[in-house]
Structure 1
Amino acid sequence: MASSLWYFRENQEDKSMVLKHHPDKRKAAGEQIGEGDNDYFTCITKAYEILCDPVKRRAFNSIDPTFDNSVPSKSEAKENFFEVFSPVFERNARWSNKKNVPKLGDMNSSFEEVDAFYSFWYNFDSWREFSYLDEEEKEKAECRDERRWIEKQNRAARALRKKEEMNRIRTLVDNAYSCDPRIKKFKEEEKAKKEAEKKAKVEAKRKEQEAKEKQRQAELEAARLAKEKEEEEVRQQALVAKKEKEIQKKAIKKERQKLRTTCKNWNYFSDNEADCVKMMEEVEKLCDRLELASLQCLNEALTSTTREGGKAAVVKQIEEINEQIRREKEEAEARMRQATKSSEKSTTGGGGGSKNWPEDDLQLLIKAVNLFPAGTNSRYFSGLVLKALLTIFN
């Protein structure tokens, strides 16, 4: 209720003031009236209309004769950047549509603060407009077409002035950004950070390569040691086998010599020279054919028996060896006959190639085998002869 009374009272006062200072009232009172806009009442009325209309008021406020539109150059701020640019940004902040315009700050400002400052000004939203400077007033036009033409000319002029204003703001921000010592510091820090990261990556890669190489060398060393160990084991086994073989060879030689000596001491179990020679050949055959265990058993038997018992043991062993030799000969002859039959079949079926063995050649081959029977010292040579004959006749 009180506010309503105040509004009514204010309006009443305004109305009384208008009635008092109206040109008609003053003219009737004999006061001199100015012509056109020279009269103060006309000026007050026009100012009131502008201030009460938000659009006209913004257009009026955009034109400030006292406002400094100058932009500092890059050379002006080399030594005192903040003292030069800070007041310029502060006075231009009045044109911002957005509130809470960020400050330029100082050398202690963080990267986020500096980045927010330049992001704001590079995207500056200005409410400043230049319709108040229109050269033509469309209300003075005589027709609609003329009003449209005047409005078109005014819009073009406003757009040009707005573009010049935004270029001025952009030049201000560009000059500040290029001269800002914090930007240089941040770039150096970023460069140093990237170089450090690059060095860290190179160092990490180098360490990784070194670790791989070290692991590879360790694997190679382990493989070498394993190989050397294996070779050493094989060498030791070979030495043991050789030693055992030498021991066995010496033992066999010893047992053979013992058998020969025993048989010689007993005159080969006969008083007839021819029988002694024959027995001597049979004893040598035993020495060639018998293994170490058999020789040891035979020598033990000869040691613990009489001459007749020893002769019986030797004769029994000779008979076993001769039987073994006979079986080997029969098997060899059977293989030869089988090979001959196969050769004849291949010759007959193939119509050429290998020739049939004549009877004389077969007898010659049998004689060669009988001359160097299996189980004798010359059995290796007999094998060579057999191979040579087979090669010749095939």
Structure 2
Amino acid sequence: MPTLTCVSPSPPFKTTSTSALSCGLRFVELTTSLPLGLAKREVAPVSPGSLGKKKKIDLFKHPNIEDVSLYDVLGGLEFTVTPEEVKKAYHQACLIYHPDKTGLTEDDPVFLSVKKAFDTLSNPEKKRTYDSSANFDDSIPPADLKERKFYAMFGECFVRNQRFAVIKEAKKTNRRKSNSGKNATPPVDPNYCPPFGDDNTPIEQVNQFYQYWINFESWRDFTLAASKKCDHDVEGAEGREEKRWMMNEISSTCKKMKKAEVKRISDLLERSMNLDPRLRREKERAAAEKEEKAGREEREKREKEETEKREKEEAEKSAAEEELERKTKAANMKAVKDKEKKMLRKQKNLFRKLAMKAFETGGDDNWGSLVEANDEVEFLIEKLDLMTLPALSAALGNSEETLDTNGIKIVRGAFKSTKSGAENAFLVEEREKIKRADEAKAKEEADKAARAPRPWSAAELNALHKAVKKNPVGGGGKWEIIANYINQTLALPLPRSKDECLKEWNAICKKNAEMAEEKFKGADEDEAGETAKEEKVDDPNAWSADEVADLQKALKKFNSKMEKNERWTQIARFVATKNKKMCVDKYKEIRASLKK
């Protein structure tokens, strides 16, 4: 709770009598009902007659003149009285109570009270001191006040204490003007305090009210109250030392009373804020909103984490699949290359062996020397590929047993044309023959493989699932696209055909369906078997295992969405050996046994 400051500007207003108090409260009500945002508050004081004529007191008939308020001594003045009005009221009182009119001495208590009232109320400092203590109720509502009394008691207490509010000047700030020429935000009047309100007052107004009292400054002066408490008459002091001592005592007591006043206002504000149902509801609403926001943020965070986790798992799975495909493709390509290298090495050795055998055997256009034969053969082995070397080997007979020395001429002609960079007609023709033969062989092997199913590897099955997922049902040329995807992804040495892919996928679907049906059927048979074991064979109403099985099939076939009587009629017809009532009883018996 912020510290409240007591200062001493010009005093506000408050009467000491009951009637004058109502006038002061009326003034406070008028000032606090002004709209928010005034640059300067200017409220005219309430005139003595503005709230109705007050009944004057006959001071001679009053039993104790010291108990009469100074405002009432001068004829029932208002709390907001001005020095001119005090002077005028004093003159009117003198016409009644002056010794020249009454014939009494100047020590008459009534006339002394009139003079005291004039001296006090016409002097702003003395009036402020008098107003600080005269007939003021310092009590505040208790901390355990019932809610039904909250608004009445605390509202009245705040209005009562607002009489001591310091009138502040509005801060002058340079504000940029909007395009319309008006201030973007109006200046806030620091002296405006909104009404305390009731249970329906908007929370913005409630916060503004409490903000005013948090910044509340009091001008209340306790000099007079401190003098009475110390029982010191400064004017009657015998010397300067005694007078100084009395003033110090009064000042010390005054500071203590000011400190107690600050605490009293702080306690009033704290109790009100603790008991205010409007603040409690706003606090609960803010807490609920905060909790909801925290819950929403937690849900969003959890969903984000789950999404990130799912994306990470999918990325890892995709990376693993890609790595498996890469390794499978690399392995297949390596196997193909190794096979080609092996075949090429075999063809090189065969051609070298046949050429050397032909040189030894001799024939037309034979090599002049072994060195010449070896050089030409090695040159051809280095330059020719797997599609050409078999043609030269075929020209030499393809084996030592069927060696044809006439092929020497073809080999030497191939050497000359290859060395010169020209195409050899024989080699071109033989290459085409070999190519056609290889294609026919590959086709034959593919057809044979299609007829004789090959086992699918894990990588092929994974690629098949992935391809089916990417190509939905109804797409044109679906299975051809799937086959091409598997072959290109895995670089299979023996490609899969679209018929193989379709056949394997149908087999997978059929197997899954059979497993599901077997699982469901097994559960039904176990249930029917357990039920049949409990039946007695000799009982004419006993159910056999087949009858129980028929009943369960009928229950599945004719579901509970049918009309009840019609359903059980159809079930009895399906079972055939039992009537409708027996079927119902058996169903209830089975259901009861399952609940145990």
TM value normalised by structure 2: 0.39
Report the equivalent of 2:37: none
Residue-by-residue CA offset, 1:253-299 (whole Å, 9 max, x unaligned): 87689779x96xx99459xxxxxxxxxxxx9xx99999495675376
Shift in Å, 1:234: 1.4
Aligned to 2:119: 49
C-alpha distance after superposition, 1:322-363 (max 9, x if no partner): xxxxxxxxxxxxxxxxxxxxxxxxxxxxxxxxxxxxxxxxxx
1:60 aligns with 2:156: no
Distance 1:162 1:295 in 2: 122
For the residues of structure 1 that align with 2:240 and 2:108, how far apart are their CA atoms?
26
d(CA) in 2 for partners of 1:233, 1:12: 117
Distance in 1, matches of 2:355 and 2:349, equals 10
How far the C-alpha of 1:55 sits from its partner, in A, is 0.8
**Aligned counterparts of 2:210 and 2:360: Cα–Cα separation in 1:** 128
- Are 1:33 and 2:104 matched, yes or no? yes
1:75 positional shift = 2.3
In the alignment, structure 1 residue 132 sits paired with structure 2 residue 224: yes
Between 1:215-224 and 1:244-253, the stretch displaced more is 244-253
Letter in 2 for 1:71: I
Deviation at 1:171, TM superposition (A): 2.2
Residue 168 of structure 2 corresponds to residue 72 of structure 1: no
Structure 1: distance between partners of 2:234 and 2:138 = 29
Counterpart for residue 119 of structure 1: 211
Counterpart of 1:197 in structure 2: which amino acid?
Answer: K
Alpha-carbon shift at residue 54 of structure 1 (Å): 0.2
Residue number among 189, 194, 197 corresponding to 1:102 in the alignment: 194
Give the counterpart letter for 2:239 in structure 1. C
Match status 1:208 vs 2:279:
no
How many Å separate the matches in 2 of 1:107 and 1:247?
100
Q: 1:48/1:287 Cα in 2 relative to 1: closer, same or farther (>3 Å)? A: same
Question: Whole-Å Cα distance in 1 between the matches of residues 274 and 88 of structure 2?
Answer: 60
Query: Deviation of residue 199 (structure 1)?
Result: 2.6
Work out whether 1:184 is the aligned partner of 2:280. yes
Partner of 1:141: 237
The CA distance in 1 between the partners of 2:89 and 2:139, in whole Å, is 45
SS at match of 1:36: coil
Deviation of residue 228 (structure 1)? 2.3
Which of the two has greater helix per residue? 1
SS in 2 for 1:76: coil
Pairs within 5 Å for 1:1-394: 23=99, 25=100, 32-34=103-105, 36-40=107-111, 42-65=112-135, 67-98=136-167, 99-133=191-225, 134=227, 135-245=231-341, 248=344, 268=361, 291=381, 296-297=391-392, 300=395
Q: Which residue in 1 is equivalent to 2:7? A: none
Amino acid of the structure 2 residue aligned with 1:118: Y
Whole-angstrom distance in 2 between the partners of 1:13 and 1:252: 143
For the 8 Å contact 2:154–2:272, the answer to whether it is kept is yes
Aligned CA distance change for structure 1 residues 86 and 301 (closer, same or farther; 3 Å): same
The CA deviation at 1:200 is 3.4
Report the Cα offset of residue 150 of structure 1.
1.8
Per-residue CA deviations over 1:61-95 (Å, capped at 9, x if unaligned) read 22332x43322112223344213321221222222
Q: Is this contact kept in 2: 1:269–1:308, CA < 8 A?
A: no
Deviations 1:176-203 (A, max 9, x none): 1221112222222232233233333333
TM-score (norm 1): 0.56
Look up the equivalent residue of 2:273 and give its one-letter code.
Y
1-structure distance, mates of 2:202, 2:88: 58
Deviation for aligned residue 1:236? 3.0
Unaligned runs of 5+ residues in structure 2 are 1-86, 168-190, 364-372, 416-596
Tell me the distance in 2 between the aligned counterparts of 1:123 and 1:64: 25
For 1:157 and 1:196, the matched residues in 2 are separated by: 54
Identity of aligned residues (%): 25
- How far off is 1:143 after superposition? 1.9
CA deviations 1:306-331 (Å, max 9, x no partner) are 969959x89xx9xxxxxxxxxxxxxx
Distance in 2 (alpha carbons) for counterparts of 1:196 and 1:19: 76
- In the TM superposition, residue 252 of structure 1 has moved relative to its aligned partner by 6.0
Distance 2:286 2:88 in 1: 69
Shift of 1:114: 2.8
1:77 to 1:14, Cα distance in 2 relative to 1, 3 A? closer
**Equivalent pairs, count:** 284
Which residue identity is paired with 1:128? R
| Distance in 2, Cα, partners of 1:88 & 1:44 | 32
Q: Distance in 1 between matches of 2:115 and 2:264?
A: 35
Structure 2 match to 1:370: none
CA distance in 2, matches of 1:103, 1:299: 118
Shift of residue 19, structure 1, vs aligned partner: 9.4
Paired residues of 1:77 and 1:84 also in contact (CA < 8 A): no
Verify the 8 A CA contact 1:102 1:117 in the aligned structure 2.
yes
Partners of 1:146 and 1:178 in 2: CA distance: 48
State the 1:53 CA deviation. Answer: 0.3
CA contact (8 A) 2:90 2:118 kept: no
Counterpart CA distance in 2 for 1:74 and 1:177 is 10
Indicate if the aligned counterparts of 1:104 and 1:117 stay in contact, CA closer than 8 A.
Answer: yes
Determine if contact 1:97/1:126 at 8 Å carries over to the other structure.
yes
Distance 1:197 1:58 in 2: 53
Query: Which moves more between the two structures, 86-95 or 195-204?
Result: 195-204
How far apart, CA to CA, are the structure 1 residues paired with 2:92 and 2:197? 53
Tell me which residue corresponds to 1:362: none
Out of 79-88 and 52-61, give the one that drifted further.
Answer: 79-88
